Amino acid sequence: MNVKLSAVGILAFCSGIPASIHAAPAPSKPDNPVCLIKTSAGDVYVELFKSAAPKTVENFIELAEGRREFVDPLTNEKVLRPFYDGLIFHRVIKEFMIQGGCPEGTGNGGPGYFFEDEMNAESLGLHKENAVNRKGPHKWLIIRSQREFNEKLVKPFLSRMDINSQEDLEAREKEVIREVKKLSLKDVYKLMGYHYSDELESYKPEKGVLAMANSGPNSNGSQFFINLKDTPWLTGRHTVFGKVIQGMEVVEALGAVEVDKLMRPVSPARIISIRQVKP
C-alpha cells in the first residue's frame, strides 16, 4: 500500500491532533483580538473592534474566559466562570440575526450589571440624516402611528425647548416647526437617551457583524447578536463590536433552524464556548 504523508500529517498523527485544524484567520488590524465561537453547528471566528468599542470588547472576552464576575441567575450569587459556555442562541430570526448570551435562555437575563453604549454618531453619518421630511419621520425611526411620533420625538423635543403647555406651543409654533425641520437622527436619538462619543471609530450594522443586544440606551450586558443581513435601521442604537471573519456559513446555518412562535430554536442552537485565539 502506497501512503503519502505530508509533514503536517505526520505531526498530527504523532501528536494525536487532527490534521484538519487550521490557524485562526488574521484580523484586519493587528491589535484587534480574534475569538473562536464554537457552536453546535460549527466554528465561527470573529474579529473584535478594540478601538471602536474597547469596554464592550473587554467585557465580552472577560465574560467568555471566566475573568469577570457575574450574577448566577440560579443562586443570585456572584460567580467567576466562563459565562457563555453552554448557552443557547435563544432568538433566531431568519434573514435578520441570531442572538445569544442570555443565561436564562429567554432573552430576559444578563450578567447582573449594565454598561454604556460605545458609538460615534458622526462616523455613522447620523448627523446627515434628517429625522423628518415631507413624507414624514425617517424610516429608521420605525414610527407607525401619531402616538409613537409624539412619544419618541415630539414630547422630548418640546421638553428640551422648555415648552410645557398648549399655550406655549401655540405662541412658539413657527419656531417649533423650524427647529423640527433641522433635527437629525443624531438629535432625535440623543433626545431618546442615547449618548455618543466623537473619539470612537464606529462600524455600521452590516451583514456578519457582532453587536450588543439591549433594551434601550446604556443597557448592555452579555447578550449579543450576529447579523444575517445589513440592518441600517439599527445604526446608532446598538454597539457594533466585531465581525465574522471565518465561518459565516455556520452563522447562516444557525439562522435557518426551525423556530417556535417566540423565535426560539426548536432544537437548541448552542454556544459550546468562546475563547480568544492567536492568529
CA separation for the pair 278, 45 (Å, rounded)? 11
Q: Which pTM does this prediction carry?
A: 0.88
For 77, the 3-state DSSP assignment is: coil
- Structure confidence at residue 8 (pLDDT): 38
| CA-to-CA dists, residue 170 to 131, 165, 181, 231, angstroms | 22, 9, 17, 39
- Structure confidence at residue 13 (pLDDT): 38
CA separation for the pair 211, 55 (Å, rounded)? 13
Nearest Cα neighbor of 45 from 21, 67, 31, 26 is: 26
- Structure confidence at residue 176 (pLDDT): 86
- Structure confidence at residue 22 (pLDDT): 58
- Structure confidence at residue 155 (pLDDT): 87
- Structure confidence at residue 150 (pLDDT): 87
CA angle 255, 261, 262 (to 5 degrees): 70
Three cell numbers written together for 251: 452563522
Residues 6+ apart with CB under 8 A from 271: 37, 38, 39, 84, 85, 86, 87, 88, 89, 100
Walk along the chain (279 residues) and give the pLDDT tens digit of each residue: 444 444 434 333 343 434 334 578 999 999 999 999 999 999 999 999 999 999 999 999 999 999 999 999 999 999 999 999 999 999 999 999 999 999 999 999 999 999 999 999 999 999 999 999 888 899 999 998 999 888 888 888 898 899 988 988 889 988 888 888 899 999 999 999 999 999 999 999 999 999 999 999 999 999 999 999 999 999 999 999 999 999 999 999 999 999 999 999 999 899 999 999 998
- Structure confidence at residue 168 (pLDDT): 87
- Structure confidence at residue 279 (pLDDT): 80
All domains of the chain, ordered by start, with CATH?
24-120+197-277 (2.40.100.10), 130-183 (no CATH)
CA angle 101, 229, 53 (to 5 degrees): 50
